[in-house]
Structures are given as structure tokens and as C-alpha cells.
Amino acid sequence: MTQYDYDLVVLGAGSGGVRAARIAAGHGAKVAVAEEFRIGGTCVIRGCVPKKLYVMASRFHDDFADAAGFGWTVGEARFDWGELVAAKEAEITRLSGLYAQNLEKSGVEIVRRRGVVAGPNAVAFADGRRVSTRCILVATGGAPTQHPQIPGIDYAISSNEIFDLAEFPQRLLVVGGGYIGVEFASVFVRLGAKTHLSLRAELPLRGFDEDLRRLLRDGLVAAGVDIHAGALPTRIEKTASGLAVTLQDESRLEVDAVLVATGRAPLTRGLGLEAAGVALKENGAIVVDAYSRSSVPSIFAVGDVTDRLNLTPVAIREGHAFADTVFGGLDVAVDHALVPTAVFTTPEIGTVGLTEAEASAKAKRLLVFETSFRPMRATLSKRAEKVFMKILVDGDSDQVLGVHILGPEAGEMAQLLAISLRLRARKADFDQTMALHPSLAEELVTMRSPSRIVERA
């Protein structure tokens, strides 16, 4: 049998790569992981984790308002951007250190430099070292896509830079209505920035249930976000006091920063994949089978670099399944169905299963249960906040096809609802479940009459 230097070399120490490396090492494999940036990847360093910390920071804005309604006198509230950035930095440094420690404890060698594929069984590191390996796992993730090519676009920043801006942007334009665009618009408006959101569509979050899209738009507007639907920037100019942005509708905005969040693309360029014979999609994503194996049998890929479902827990599950299958003697393919997702705007979105548009195309008779109410927490402060919940039920089988929530803790609810939907819960199961009172989630088991019945034509 051929002797290799390693059983596995992983390219990229993000969520998927780290999990795969640790599990493979636990199965007895000799593993190295190459990382040119900080250990932890997008999620830990400049994605989910710092984003959620900033979301938490922004929500104190509403908490102070609620507190007054409960009899508290809150002194003048002031926000210090520098303190938040520093506290965030300390936390992600701690987490990155833990990731590195856990890799080392598992016996994984960390190579702190870029690695590229030098053949089906070879990896070259940036210091010139070349090693042989039985398998390669590409887990290099994704990066913000090229910004729209308009004059002055170089003045714009991406989500990579927004976390660490030296100065708090008092006036911010966010371009793009996906997860990243709406989350940052929601954060910065609450931290005190005059915030604009420019969308090419009428509503944000394409692909989400239409009611959630509409209600989120309304929630952002209510928080003070100035939404410019169908009006993208055409030019950005530097001025004495910041940036002047011209939009397609000829309006002109004066801002301190422009954040472009128009999508992310797989990071495969310059990795030597084409030369090794690895098939890529048009956007650079690595084509893989259900076991994350590429067109070259010794080369695998997990996470955003495969552009399947670009979410951290999915990358982790794919990395784990790969390691169990290739090094643990198991046969694990990842099931990408019924993945819950949250958008950490305020109001928050939590969703699992089919949207109403998808469900009505699938079910002959779709029962739509809906409720909308003011959360108890906002009643005393009289803050205008609404919770919205929608349950989509197949009228013939009674199976719950999708649940969509907008409001506090919607993400937490979606996580638990995903278990029910995976167990193929019927609406009758929801109805028979005792309510927990008083809670927001009890509404999910107390909706009795459909607000609409959609018959397939």
C-alpha cells in the first residue's frame, strides 16, 4: 500500500474543516489542517459569532424602552462603539484559541499558512513544503462577492470590514437585502446610525415566506431604516464629510460608510482544483456527492465552498459525516431537508419547512393558520412590536409543512419546531400539546381555525 505523509490534509480551519479534522483524528487518522488566517473561519471571526454579539448590543436599545414601562428609570444611555469592538475582539480571540487548543488536543497538526491542492494526493503549503496525503478536504468557505461595478465602489466595504471600523458610522448605507444586509441594517439603526437599505427587489429576503418578508420590511421601517426599494447605487463619491451616493432613482445620500452585502461566493480560486481535475460549478463551487466527495475520489469538500446550504451547522454536520464515513467505517450522508434558519434582525425571523408559496404548490388543500399579537414584554412600555406566526398544514394528511415566525426568540422556536417537523408532526399533535402559559410559543399550539384555505387549481 502507498505510504502517505498524512491520511488527511484539510484546507481551511473554519467550522466544517475543524470538525472534520477532529473527528478524523479521533478515528485514528494522521491529520493536518492548513489555515492562512485566524483559526475559526468566517463564523467565529467575522460572521455568526461577532454578528450575534452586535445584535445583542443593538437590542439594549429596545430593552431600555421596555424597562421604563416596568417602573425603571434608566439614566442617559450612551453607546461606545470602541468598547463593543474591543469586547468582541477579546471574545473571538478566546474562541479562536479554544478551537486551536481542541484541534491540538485531538492530535491534529495546525499548519498556519495557506495550503493548495498540488495533485489528487498532494498539498503544497505557502512555505514551499509539499506533502502527500491519502485524502484532501477542501473547507475554504466563501467570501463576499465582487461588489457591483459602479464608479467609486472601492470606497465601499463588505461584512469582513464592518465589525472593526475605526469610527462608528453615524450614517450608513447597506446595499443588498439578504441575511447580511438586513441583519446589519437592523443592528446599526439601533446602535444609533442613520441607516439606509438599498434593495434591487421590492422586499428583502428573497426565498423566505412572503408574509415574513413584508413584515420584516415594516419592522425595519418602524425602527427607522430608510428603505430604497428598486434603487441601487449608481455612483459613490468621496466628499469632505464622507461619501455621497447616487441611487438609480437619482436620489443622493450623504453617508459615512457603504456596506455592500450582495452575496457570497465559494473560495476556490487559486487552490489548484481545476489542475487536479476537480469539477467546479459556474460560480466556482465544488461539485460533490451526498458524501461530500468531489469528482476526484481522494478530494472532498464541505461547507460554503460547495454552495449547498450555506449555514454553519450544515458545514459542521457535513464535516462530521465526511470524517465518520471516510475514517470511521460508517456510512453517513447528510440530510439537507428541514434545516431551521434564523435571521437575527429585530424583529427576528425563525423558519423551518416550506414557505406558503412552496407548500401551496405541493398540497392539494393547504390550511394556513396565522396569528399576530403584541408580545407581553412590550405591553407595559406600549412599544409597537408585533409577533407573527404562521403554520402551514397539508389539508389531506394534516402534516405540518412549514412554520414561520417573526418576533422575539423566533430562532429559538424554529430550532425546536424543526424536531417536530422531522418527526412528521401533524397539526393534531400541535393541538394535543398542552400550552405553556404565558409564553410566546404557546400560540403555536393554540391556533384552532385556519385563516385561509388554499386549494391547488
Cell reading at 447: 391556533
How many Cβ atoms are within 10 Å of 289's Cβ, its own excluded?
Answer: 10
Cell 415566525 locates to 405
Q: Can you list the alpha helix ranges (DSSP code H) found in 339-449? A: 356-362, 410-422, 427-432
Distance CA 354, CA 391 (A): 10
**Does residue 263 bind ligand NDP (CB under 6 A)?**
yes
**Does residue 140 bind ligand NDP (CB under 6 A)?**
no
Q: Choose among 209, 242, 216, 246: nearest CA to 231.
A: 246
Nearer to ligand NDP, 13 or 205 (CB): 205
Question: Phi then psi for 425, rounded to 5 degrees?
Answer: -60, 145
Q: Which stretch binds ligand NDP (CB under 6 A): 15-23, 336-344, 350-358, 388-396?
A: 336-344
**Does residue 206 bind ligand NDP (CB under 6 A)?**
yes
- Binding ligand NDP by CB under 6 A: which of 220, 261, 271, 354? 261
**Does residue 181 bind ligand NDP (CB under 6 A)?**
yes
* C-alpha dihedral sign at 76, 81, 84, 86: negative
Strand-pair category, 400-406 with 349-353: antiparallel
Nearer to ligand NDP, 296 or 311 (CB): 311
Least Å distance, CB 383 to ligand NDP, is 24
Provide the phi-psi class of 195: left if phi over 0, else alpha when psi is between -120 and 50, else beta: beta
* Kind and range of the H or E run holding 319: helix 312-327
Q: Choose among 445, 439, 400, 436: nearest CA to 418.
A: 400
Least Å distance, CB 118 to ligand NDP, is 30
**Does residue 262 bind ligand NDP (CB under 6 A)?**
yes
Tell me the three state secondary structure of residue 19.
helix
Q: Which of residues 25-64 bind ligand NDP (CB under 6 A)?
A: none
Nearer to ligand NDP, 202 or 455 (CB): 202
Least Å distance, CB 289 to ligand NDP, is 21
Nearer to ligand NDP, 9 or 285 (CB): 285
Length of the chain as a residue count: 457
Cell reading at 184: 446589519
Nearer to ligand NDP, 292 or 325 (CB): 292
**Does residue 179 bind ligand NDP (CB under 6 A)?**
yes
CA dihedral (82, 85, 88, 92) in degrees, to 10, reads -130
Q: Which stretch binds ligand NDP (CB under 6 A): 163-171, 244-252, 262-270, 364-372?
A: 262-270
Q: Which stretch binds ligand NDP (CB under 6 A): 91-99, 109-117, 160-168, 178-186?
A: 178-186
Q: Which stretch binds ligand NDP (CB under 6 A): 2-10, 73-81, 179-187, 373-381?
A: 179-187
Q: Give the interface size with ligand NDP as a residue count (CB under 6 A).
A: 22
Cell reading at 214: 413584508
Positions annotated as catalytic residues are: 437
Nearer to ligand NDP, 311 or 418 (CB): 311
Distance CA 158, CA 152 (A): 14
Q: Which residue is nearest to ligand NDP (CB)?
A: 178
Kindly list the residues in this chain that would bind ligand NDP in the complex (CB under 6 A): 148, 176-181, 183, 200-201, 206, 232, 261-264, 310-311, 341-344
